[in-house]
């Protein structure tokens, strides 16, 4: 076993769990920061060290970073819905607390998982690179997530040790307990629609591929002080994605369409009502969800291929099949009965 010790935050989530799994599989010493009460059964099975703490509580972080060589900071608010204060606390303040604790503990390397959403919505068909200007065309109200992630990036850049930032696109894979269940529930309720033509390619990256890219970025000396996009070159369309999910959920394939403009408007109305009612849970439809499904943006991972030797190797439909198999065997769908088919 390697003497190197890595700390992973967000290890009970999608990407963090895959990073912890791969590090442990390589024989490295892995410590994970978990909040009291979180389900840690999977992590315990990996044999990693569990340390309870909370990124909102700076005093609880000292035991987590003690003796750590590399921090993999994956935790953060993954939903696009919430007040600015929630994003401030869960993304910006949490990152600042961990950066400060890592600095005090003498951590040598800090890897931060940001998001491709920090680019905003640039116009044009060219793939977005790490040199693309950030936060373009963010004129929506309540568009807090990309702004919070970029503010957290700035805190990481101020870390006095070695740092690296990665910006994955939409991550999917086994142990996704957020996005996938929402889409499958929408299919089961017969509420899913193709946004636009449905032929737009989705910007997805399989979780284990993304984890490999993150680890490469955190261990490559030349990656210090660098930023990397992580996105799959081979992808599938919105229609192919929904067809595969519908087939697995034993639901009719989605044939009805809704224009992007109308879907966007519905998302705005739902968000507005959610604001008025003070809804805290994830909303079924949001403007971000609409843009995620129907966006024509593309992201270049050429820099990661050149400098890290990284490339997403999982064929997209194969990755989705693995994800669906997990969902219905071990995930939220394992105990949920499949309802009778309904019109889509």
Fold that domain 5-175+204-232+298-313 belongs to in CATH: Rossmann fold (3.40.50)
pLDDT at 343 over 50: no
Q: Mean pLDDT, the chain, as a whole number?
A: 90
> In the chain, what percentage of residues exceed pLDDT 70?
96
Nearest to 119 by CA among 147, 82, 91: 147
User: Tens digit of pLDDT for each residue in 258-308?
Assistant: 998 898 888 788 888 877 877 777 777 777 778 778 888 899 999 999 999
236-241 average pLDDT score = 92
User: Mean pLDDT throughout 244-249?
Assistant: 89
With beta carbons less than 8 A apart as the criterion, state whether 50 and 34 touch.
yes
**Residue 339: pLDDT band by 50, 70, 90 thresholds?**
very low
Q: Helices 260-277 and 287-294, interaxial angle, to 10°?
A: 150
- pTM value is 0.92
φ, ψ for residue 276, nearest 5 deg: -65, -35
* Residue 342: predicted pLDDT: 35
Band (139; pLDDT cuts 50, 70, 90)? low
Q: What is the mean pLDDT of residues 138-159?
A: 89
How far is it, in rounded angstroms, from Cα 227 to Cα 166? 6
Q: Rounded to an integer, what distance in angstroms lies between the CA atom of residue 104 and that of residue 18?
A: 27
| C-alpha dist (Å) from residue 199 to 4, 120, 151, 312 | 46, 22, 34, 22
22-64: pLDDT as tens digits: 999 999 999 999 999 888 999 999 999 999 999 999 999 999 9
Give residue limits of the domains in the chain. Answer: 5-175+204-232+298-313
Q: Which of 76-80, 208-212, 249-253 has the lowest mean pLDDT?
A: 76-80
In angstroms, rounded to a whole number, what is the distance separating the alpha carbons of residues 304 and 311?
A: 8
The lowest-confidence range among 52-56, 77-81, 128-132, 330-334 is 77-81
Q: Which of 19, 15, 32 is nearest to 174 (CA)?
A: 15
- Give residue 42's pLDDT: 93
Cα 108 to chain centroid distance, Å, stands at 25
pLDDT of 249 higher than 90: no
Whether residue 336 is predicted with pLDDT greater than 80 in this model: the reply is: no
């Amino acid at each position: 076993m390697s003497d190197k010790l890595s700390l992973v935050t967000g290890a009970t989530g999608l990407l963090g769990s895959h990073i912890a799994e791969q590090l442990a599989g390589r024989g490295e010493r892995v410590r994970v920061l978990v909040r009291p009460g979180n389900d840690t059964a999977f992590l315990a099975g990996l044999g990693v060290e569990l340390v309870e703490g909370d990124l909102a509580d700076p005093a609880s972080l000292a035991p987590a970073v003690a003796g750590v060589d590399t921090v993999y900071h994956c935790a953060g608010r993954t939903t696009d819905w919430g007040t600015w204060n929630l994003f401030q606390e869960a993304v910006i303040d949490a990152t600042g607390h961990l950066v400060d604790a890592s600095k005090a503990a003498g951590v040598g390397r800090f890897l931060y998982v940001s998001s491709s959403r920090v680019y905003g919505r640039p116009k044009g068909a060219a793939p977005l690179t790490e040199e693309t200007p950030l936060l373009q065309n963010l004129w929506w109200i309540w568009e807090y997530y990309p702004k919070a992630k970029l503010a957290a990036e700035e805190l990481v850049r101020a870390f006095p040790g070695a740092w690296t930032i990665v910006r994955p696109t939409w991550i999917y894979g086994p142990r996704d307990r957020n996005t996938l269940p929402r889409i499958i529930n929408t299919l089961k309720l017969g509420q899913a629609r193709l946004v636009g033509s449905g032929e737009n390619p989705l910007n997805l990256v399989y979780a284990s591929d993304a984890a490999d890219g993150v680890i490469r970025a955190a261990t490559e000396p030349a990656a210090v002080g660098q930023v990397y996009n992580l996105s799959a070159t081979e992808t599938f369309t919105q229609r192919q994605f929904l067809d595969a999910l519908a087939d697995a959920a034993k639901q009719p394939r989605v044939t009805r369409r809704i224009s992007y403009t109308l879907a966007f408007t519905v998302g705005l109305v739902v968000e507005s009502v959610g604001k008025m009612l003070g809804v805290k849970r994830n909303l079924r439809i949001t403007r971000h969800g609409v843009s995620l499904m129907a966006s024509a943006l593309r992201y270049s991972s050429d820099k990661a291929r050149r400098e890290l030797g990284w490339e997403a190797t999982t064929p997209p439909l194969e990755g989705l099949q693995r994800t669906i198999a997990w969902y219905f065997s071990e995930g939220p769908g394992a105990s949920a009965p499949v309802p009778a088919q309904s019109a889509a």
